[in-house]
Each structure stands twice: as structure tokens, then as C-alpha cells.
Structure 1
């Protein structure tokens, strides 16, 4: 599943919990939701600054810093402006809605609100976000791998691990030199598993899901154990296979 971090900023604990419970009780085969809660605007901005938030749901009537100012601050940030913001407001007059959209909100929901409406809007936004990121990630990974062709190979497993950690909560990843059997990078495989993997590779057998990487004539194996079949991993595999073919020419 793709992990999505959602910020809910509302001083009313009951309303925050109602939104969270709607997501927890709704079937979504694609996403796993992680929630961050804030009771005022200052805490909301701190949570956004410290975490990789994918969508923010913000009450306009926050203390310390109101929701409109939080929205304005987000949209002025060069690194956080991409975050879609949904506002919750007990004031839904035309001027309020106009202000929300002028500042960059993607939606404004009247209070008291329907948690189903919140859920459906977020799901729609995530679908659009996923498709955009799908294209963006292809370009980013290919660009990165092109740069790495003439640099240290050890950097490549690190960026692959960063990519995986963005979307998977449970996985294992190992990179080894095919000639020496030396592990270059390891996330969560224990010693017994590594010995088993190296034995399989020596005998010409696949260990878990294995990608063969050719970098300047040197062969490496990237071994994955991922507890989910996700299009992000399929994308990563295709890009690594393509990159290996280019290096093999």
C-alpha cells in the first residue's frame, strides 16, 4: 500500500477523531493512512514543517494562527506549496469561499461536516496526486540514475531505499556485488537470510525478487522482499531494468 500522511488541524478532538475513524473504517486497497493531529495553527505549521504531509485538512477557526494564515504560509513555502489543503469552516458565505480559493485551497467544507464527504474529497485528490507523482518519479529516477552512471554505485541503493521507504511500511532490500558476494547495502535482512540469498545467487537461483544491475561492466544484484504488490515498485523495477540495459550497451 502507498503510505499517505494526512494532517488534521482542528481544536475539536471529537471532529478530528471522527475524520480519522471514517478513514480507518473505509476500505481502501491502495493507501495506508497515517494521521498527524494539531489543535492550533502553530502546531499545524510545525507538523507540516517536520513531516512529509500529503494532504492537510485545516479548520479556518484555529487559535494562535488561523486556518487562512496557515494556508497562506503553506502556499508561500517553496518546499510545501504543493500540499493540497482542504479547509473546514462554519462560515461558508461567498466571500469566505472566494478567500479560500484565492489563497490556494483545493476545497472548503462547511461545518458541521459529513466525514464521508471529507473522505471522498481526499480520495479524489490522492488519485490525482498519485498519477502526477507517477510521472514525476519516472523522470526523477531516470535523471538520478543517469547522474550516477559515472559515480559511486553505493549511492544508488541508498536512493532506491529512500524511494521504497516513501511508499512501503514493510519491506527488505539488499544490494550485493555479484563477483565478490559483498553486501553493499542492507535493510532488514538478517545474517541467515543473507547467507541463503548468496547461496541462491551462487547456484544461479533467484532469491526473492532479484534485479540484475550492470554498472560499467560490474554486475550487482538488488534483492527485494516487499509485502505488497504496488505500482510504485513495478515502476521502480522497470526503471532499474531499463537503466541496467543502457549500462550494458
Structure 2
């Protein structure tokens, strides 16, 4: 994983349109980030190369290809995945969080999230990861 604290572009994968809209406002308008929204894992796979995000923010529970499956598919591409991944979920049992981290995520943002602090929460995870 490439250590980088600069966060400008986020690829956000979320199947729920309402949550996508709130997160877009939180990341773009409050956080000042460039955001590409995807409603499914396959859409994320098709968009990631053209968008070149600094971070991937992934919903865990999605129909078809869920967040962990999407992360594995991104990692298994010929060029791999060289940007950090953060999961966003209401599933926060310690064993579930351990599973997400074992898959390669740098952290988990709980749902419901605070739109006013979402971008800062992600930046804090990046800073912690870079320092570690």
C-alpha cells in the first residue's frame, strides 16, 4: 500500500441512492473532494482506472457484488489496487471489522455517518495509516 496523506479524489461505491447523495454532499461540498459515485461493484471496476482515485470508499452490503467482493475484484485486477480502501457500514461487530481489515481496508466508517465530518474521518484514517 502506497503511503499518501493527500486526499483529493474518492471513488464511492454505494447502492442506496439517498445515502450516495448525502455522502456526495459530505465529501464534495463539505470536504472539498472530487467524487466519483458508483452504485455497484461492477460499475466501480469499470470506472476506477479512468478516475484514478486517491481512496476507495465501499459500502459493505450491496446486492450482487458486495463490498468485500468488490475489494477482492479490484485487488485481483492485473494492475492490482494501489490506493487505500475504507468500508462504510452499519455492521460493526468486532469480528466483522477484523474481517474488513484482513481484506486490506485501512478502516471502517460507521453508518449512519456524520455528513459534516465524513471527509475528516477519512483523512484521519489515512493519517493514522501513513503514520503506522
Answer yes or no: is the 8 Å Cα contact 1:75–1:104 preserved in 2: no
The higher-RCO structure (CA 8 Å, 6+ apart) is: 2
Decide whether aligned partners of structure 1 residues 92 and 33 sit closer, same or farther in structure 2, where only a CA change above 3 A counts.
same
Instruction: Please list every run of at least 4 consecutive aligned residues from structure 1 whose deviation after the TM superposition is greater than 4 angstroms.
Output: 125-130
Matched, 1:20 2:24: yes
Q: Please give the TM-score of this superposition, normalised by the length of structure 1.
A: 0.44
Structure 1 equivalent of residue 79 of structure 2: 79
Structure 1 equivalent of residue 47 of structure 2: 47
More helix by share: 1
- Aligned pair count reads 126
RMSD: 2.7
Q: 1:77, CA displacement in angstroms?
A: 3.9
> What 5-or-longer segments of structure 1 have no aligned partner?
131-249
Distance 1:24 1:50 in 2: 19
Q: 1:11, CA displacement in angstroms?
A: 1.2
Distance 1:18 1:77 in 2: 30
Structure 1 equivalent of residue 3 of structure 2: none
Distance 1:7 1:24 in 2: 12
More strand by share: 1
> What 5-or-longer segments of structure 2 have no aligned partner?
1-5
Give the number of the structure whose alpha-carbon radius of gyration is greater.
Answer: 1
